Amino acid sequence: MRKLSLSDWGSLAEIVATVAVVISLIFVVISLERNTAVMQASNDNFIYELQFARSRDIVSSPGMASIYVRHRNGEELSAEEQERFYWDKMQELSTWELAFNRHRDGLFSTSQWKGWDGYFKSSFIDQFSSDSWAEVRDFYAEDFQSHVDAAYAEK
């Protein structure tokens, strides 16, 4: 067996270093994928928490539950009830915008976004008139405006 020269040892060290870099890069990719999954789950949980808080308000407040029942039945709401309903819908719209932005920024998985977007399209659009949307749409970014406009157009 021949002895390795200094040049041979240098070449061997380069090969070992290259393998180490490749292995390190694989671990970085795995770590990034895990971090992305954790971030997406965290954003999904946050959207759930916001919606649960709204639902809790409706469930725990006989007044809000009554407003929703009366609105669903097409009954006229008092000025105070209309205001409470309006601000509840504004909270829902802000949650929809948050989910939209998180998905656009890659922080919300496409499958979760599709589920939430479908929910907002059916729930929000049916309860918030297009006239009401037209009054507030300028408060939102253009890409979200376009998205909501399209949802109203699909209705």
Given a cut of 90, whether residue 3 has pLDDT beyond it is no
Please state the pTM of the whole predicted model.
Answer: 0.72
Query: So what's the pLDDT on residue 41?
Result: 72
How far is residue 127's CA from residue 39's CA, in Å, rounded to a whole number? Answer: 31
73-105 burial, b if ≥16 CB within 10 A, otherwise e?
A: eeeeeeeebeebbeebbeebbebbbbbbbbbee
Q: What is the pLDDT, as a whole number, of residue 1? A: 65
pLDDT, tens digit, 9 for 90 and up, residues 95-112: 999 999 989 988 888 888
Of 84, 75, 90, which Cα lies nearest the Cα of 128?
A: 90
**Whole-angstrom Cα distance, residue 82 to residue 55?**
18
- Pick from 2-6, 28-32, 70-74, 104-108: least confident: 2-6
pLDDT given at position 58 = 82
CB 136 within 8 A of CB 97: no
CA distance 86 to 131: 12
Q: What is the pLDDT of residue 49?
A: 84
What pLDDT was estimated at residue 30? 83
Q: Give the domain ranges of the chain.
A: 37-154
Q: How confident is the model at residue 70 (pLDDT cuts 50, 70, 90)?
A: very high
Which string of DSSP letters, residue by residue, matches 46-77? HHHHHHHHHHHHHHH-HHHHHHHHHHHTTPPP
pLDDT digits (tens, 9 = 90+) for 20-60: 888 888 888 888 888 877 777 777 787 778 888 888 888 88
User: Is the confidence at residue 87, as pLDDT, over 90?
Assistant: yes
